[in-house]
């Protein structure tokens, strides 16, 4: 019998075997761990919804929990490694009062104690949360302890407690060791609940509603609540909710905060409106669920709170999801503009989802997520990707592929629609209460990442073996090719000394950068080179010419004398001068126009960056705001027909200025043109609204006998030559008596 076979279905390991296991594993060479399967049951049943924790006092001790169907129904598996993730044993948690387990979570306190937590239930009215505790790295366990069904609070038989997450105060402050669990209480309308323990998880206080249906007009409080404790011991809970705007409901994230160790909370506040996202290609259910962590280190970003959430994006013809990141530096009072974490190029239907975030002991932000970028054109197969931030969430590194084989969600379908209840081998199911169901969504709802300093531990659901299994990998944070931020690719810069920004690839006392700028995309010639830059924001010290440039970055890490690959290559154009003032062409100065929506034209101004124009038309030469002031912007042509009809028999003024994509703009003309709007019919020289012999005689009289001028004068320019002469007389005669073309002033 193998070691894994012996421990299969045994939730807790006897001290003797843990001792033997420890002797074995500590003899092994410590190195990065490539992708490996953790569950050893050998079945084709489902394993998903992973969480992971690394002891903060002994990085050799790592535990994973996951949802495990090896018995044919929902249970929770536990994986234990005592050698930093190189070897594992796994078993099933047991001891609960109900036969189903689900929604596993795991965390630890400052002293290195581990706390697996699960939903333990049969159905509505038979639902609780079970928590186990080990103070000796899994050699012995206490529990399970029940969070809700206790003497203080016995819930009604109608409740189902769902989707719990756990936060533990590790600040060494006034509330150190406090444990906070949040979840959604069903049936609808849901309530967001919290319960806390001040006794290391052994006893639990009464439950508290922190998110009420009344916050959303009594409709539904929401789901996917997540807790976090900041460096001051303040407790935050954020959850996916709904916001009513103009009679419609929109997906949003709400937040409450406690400054007294979870005894009292603020009223919920909306911190983000985001777009709903439901399903990725391959039938993968995804949700607008948040994940959070806080910087409780003594580093420069201590006190920051970080949040990630998937967000639906309309990208041209495609709708997909990105992972967004926000942070608060003032205790949740304000939040930054959402920042896109994934770095795949836009314009493709690529989904990112099931993100998880953690902050290591040095303040590095680590975000793990699923990503479908590697499977064009279907974008169905998924990989696990990770990214890092070394500057407090200002920038994120080039995304790094963790999984070395893509997973196909179609390989995860085999055991999805079967009854979820205990069964005997080759015998009918013991219960018929549960009908066929998708078992809480294909690939479940989350994955996990943890870190001990720069060693990162990842766990996820993988289908490379034809079904859903728990996979794991660990590695040191790599020195990645820098991710470029500014100047954005293909843009125009108005400064001869542009500022460059890229993602920090490490802490600034560990990593330096070389910046290369060239007019050649292959960098055969390097026009400007800056070396040993100790920050990720840099302004050129030498002026650039007004031409197109290409730029790239390389990173160097002093601790191991390593260097990254070059970043990608981006380009920008320098355009430091404003366009010239356009020349006005038509209507000419003092011209009379016969149409109420005239066409205006002006000279073209060319520059390195695209030029567009703004046109003003007004009945006052100073162009004040008023009923007869019209402004037309972003005109990319040198002629424009205004859509707004002007008033007949009115004097107007017009002017144009040129602008470019860098933000420069020309002056207006010193003297705007004026024109008079007078509706007339070309060739109707005498103004009687009929073109006939009378107009010919009127024009002859004007030209040769000193008679009155055409009314208005442009009406006499029948041949559109710009002059009134004998040619116009002949043109009218030809039109009236010889079937010639009509007048065209």
Per-residue pLDDT, 416: 53
Give the whole-angstrom CA distance, residue 97 versus residue 88.
28
Using the predicted structure, report yes or no on whether residue 420 has a pLDDT greater than 90.
no
Q: What is the mean pLDDT of residues 385-414?
A: 94
Mean pLDDT of the chain: 90
CATH 3.30.559 applies to domain 107-476: no
C-alpha 209/C-alpha 123 separation (Å) is 21
- The CATH class that applies to domain 484-574 reads mainly beta
Which residues face 302 on adjacent strands?
none
User: Does the pLDDT of residue 373 top 50, yes or no?
Assistant: yes
> What's the Cα-to-Cα distance from 182 to each of 119, 305, 382, rounded to whole Å?
12, 18, 30
What's the farthest any 2 CA atoms get from each other in the chain? 128
CB of 124 within 8 A of CB of 447?
Answer: no
Residue appearing with tokens 């002991």: 361
DSSP state of 702: H
What's the CATH number of domain 584-677, 2.60.40.60, 3.40.109.10, 3.40.720.10, 2.60.40.10?
2.60.40.10
User: What confidence score (pLDDT) does residue 154 get?
Assistant: 54
Contact assessment for residue 422 and residue 431, using Cβ atoms and an 8 Å cutoff? yes
* Bridge partner list, 357: 367
422 has a pLDDT exceeding 90: no
What pLDDT is recorded for position 364?
98
Q: Say which residue, 229 or 745, is predicted with more confidence.
A: 229
Using one digit for the tens of pLDDT, what is the confidence trace for 13-60? 444 344 444 444 443 335 688 999 999 999 999 999 999 999 999 999
Tokens 């160097």, residue located: 556
What is the percentage of the chain residues whose pLDDT exceeds 70? Answer: 90
Enter the tokens of residue 719.
């041949």
Q: Taking a C-beta distance cutoff of 8 angstroms, is the pair 324, 308 a contact?
A: yes
- Closest listed residue to residue 307, CA positions, set 329, 285, 284, 280: 329
Instruction: Kindly list the distances between the CA atom of residue 445 and the CA atoms of 92, 96, 278, 279, 355, in Å, as whole numbers in the listed order.
Output: 20, 23, 11, 12, 9
Length of the chain: 745
Segment (H or E) for 678: none
Is residue 344 within 8 Å of residue 351, measured between CB atoms?
no
Those residues whose C-beta lies under 8 Å from the C-beta of residue 640, and which sit 6 or more positions away, are 599, 600, 601, 613, 615, 632
Residue 119: beta bridge partners? 102, 129
Which tokens in the block code for residue 165?
A: 């997450």
* Whether the model pTM is above 0.75: yes
Portions of the chain given CATH number 2.60.40.10:
484-574, 584-677
Residue 552 confidence class, pLDDT cut points 50, 70, 90: very high
Averaged over 662-670, what is the pLDDT? 94
> What mean pLDDT do residues 411-431 have?
49
Q: Residue 17 has what pLDDT?
A: 42
CA distance 135 to 57: 12
- Alpha-carbon separation of residue 733 from 568, 696, 706 (angstroms): 72, 7, 21
Question: Which residues of the chain does CATH 2.120.10 include?
Answer: 107-476
Q: Is the peptide bond before 712 cis (omega within 30 degrees of 0)?
A: yes
Give pLDDT, residue 214: 75
β-bridge partners, 492? 573
Helix 693-704 × helix 726-737 angle, to 10°: 170
Other CB atoms within a 10 A radius of the CB of residue 376 amount to 10
Digit-coded pLDDT (tens) for 576-617: 889 999 999 999 999 989 889 999 999 999 877 889 999 999
Q: What one-character-per-residue DSSP string does 559-605 give? A: TTTEEPPP---EEEEE--SPPPPPPEEESPTTEEE--SS-EEEE---
What does the alpha-carbon distance between residue 242 and residue 215 come to, in Å, rounded to a whole number?
9
Q: Check residue 158 and give its pLDDT.
A: 79
Backbone angles phi, psi at 378, to 5 degrees: -80, -30
β-partners of residue 708 are: none
């Amino acid at each position: 019998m193998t070691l894994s076979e012996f421990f299969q279905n045994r939730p807790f390991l006897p001290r003797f075997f843990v001792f033997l296991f420890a002797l074995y594993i500590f003899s092994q060479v410590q190195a990065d761990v490539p992708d490996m399967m953790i569950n050893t049951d050998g079945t084709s049943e489902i394993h998903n919804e992973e969480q992971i924790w690394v002891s903060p006092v002994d990085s050799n001790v790592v535990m994973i929990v996951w949802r495990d169907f090896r018995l044919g129904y929902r249970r929770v598996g536990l994986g234990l490694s005592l050698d930093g993730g190189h070897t594992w044993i796994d078993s099933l948690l047991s001891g609960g009062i109900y036969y189903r387990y689900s929604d596993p979570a795991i965390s630890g306190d400052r002293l290195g104690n581990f706390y697996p937590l699960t939903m333990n239930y049969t159905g509505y009215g038979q639902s609780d949360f079970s928590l186990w505790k080990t103070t000796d790295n899994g050699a012995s366990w206490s529990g399970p302890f029940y969070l809700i069904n206790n003497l203080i609070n016995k819930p009604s038989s109608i409740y189902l407690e769902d989707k719990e997450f756990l936060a533990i105060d590790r600040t060494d402050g006034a509330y150190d060791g406090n444990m906070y669990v949040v979840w959604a209480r069903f049936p609808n309308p849901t309530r967001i609940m919290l319960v806390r323990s001040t006794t290391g998880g052994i006893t639990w206080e009464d439950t508290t509603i922190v998110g009420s249906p009344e916050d959303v007009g009594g409709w539904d409080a929401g789901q996917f609540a997540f807790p976090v404790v900041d460096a001051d011991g303040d407790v935050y809970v954020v959850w996916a909710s709904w916001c009513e705007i103009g009679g419609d409901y929109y997906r949003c994230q709400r937040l409450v905060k406690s400054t007294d160790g979870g005894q009292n909370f603020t009223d919920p506040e909306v911190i983000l409106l985001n777009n709903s996202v439901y399903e990725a290609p391959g039938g993968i259910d995804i949700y607008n669920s948040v994940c959070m962590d806080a910087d409780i280190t003594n580093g420069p970003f201590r006190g920051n709170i970080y949040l990630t959430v998937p967000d639906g994006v309309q990208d041209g013809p495609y709708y997909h999801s990105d992972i967004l990141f926000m942070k608060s530096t003032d205790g949740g009072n304000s939040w930054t503009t959402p920042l896109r974490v994934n770095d795949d190029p836009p314009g493709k239907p690529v989904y990112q989802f099931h993100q998880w975030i953690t902050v290591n002991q040095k303040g590095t932000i680590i975000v793990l997520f699923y990503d479908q970028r590697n499977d064009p054109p279907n974008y169905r197969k998924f990989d696990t990707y990770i990214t890092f931030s070394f500057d407090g969430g200002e920038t994120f590194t080039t995304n790094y592929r963790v999984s070395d084989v893509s997973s196909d969600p179609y390989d995860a379908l085999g055991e999805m629609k079967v009854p979820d209840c205990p069964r005997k081998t080759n015998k009918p199911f013991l219960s018929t209460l549960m009908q066929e169901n998708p078992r809480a969504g294909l690939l479940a709802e989350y994955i996990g990442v943890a870190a001990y300093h720069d060693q990162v531990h990842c766990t996820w659901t993988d289908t490379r073996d034809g079904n859903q299994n728990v996979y794991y990998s660990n590695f040191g944070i790599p020195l990645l090719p820098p991710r470029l931020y500014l100047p954005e690719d293909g843009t125009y810069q108005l400064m001869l000394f542009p500022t460059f920004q890229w993602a920090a690839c490490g802490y600034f006392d560990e990593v330096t950068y070389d910046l290369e700028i060239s007019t050649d995309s292959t960098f055969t010639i390097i026009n400007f080179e800056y070396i040993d830059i100790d920050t990720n924001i840099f302004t050129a010290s030498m002026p650039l010419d007004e031409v197109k440039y290409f730029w790239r970055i390389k990173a160097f890490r002093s601790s191991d004398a390593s260097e990254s690959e070059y970043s990608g290559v981006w380009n920008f154009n320098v355009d430091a001068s404003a366009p010239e003032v356009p020349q006005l062409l038509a209507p000419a100065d003092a011209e009379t126009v016969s149409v109420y929506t005239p066409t205006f034209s002006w000279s073209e101004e060319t520059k390195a960056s695209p030029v567009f124009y703004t046109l003003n038309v007004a009945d006052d030469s100073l162009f004040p705001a008023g009923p007869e002031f019209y402004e037309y912007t972003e005109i990319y042509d040198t002629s424009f027909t205004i859509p707004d009809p002007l008033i007949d028999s009115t004097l107007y003024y017009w002017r144009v200025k040129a602008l470019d994509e860098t933000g420069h703009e020309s002056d207006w003309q010193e003297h705007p043109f004026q024109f008079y709007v007078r509706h007339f019919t070309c060739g109707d020289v005498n103004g009687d609204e009929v073109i006939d012999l009378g107009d010919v005689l009127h024009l002859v009289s004007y030209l040769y006998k000193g008679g009155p001028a055409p009314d208005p004068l442009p009406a006499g320019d029948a041949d559109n030559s710009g002059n009134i002469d004998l040619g116009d007389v002949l043109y009218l005669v030809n039109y009236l008596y010889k079937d010639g073309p009509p007048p065209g002033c």
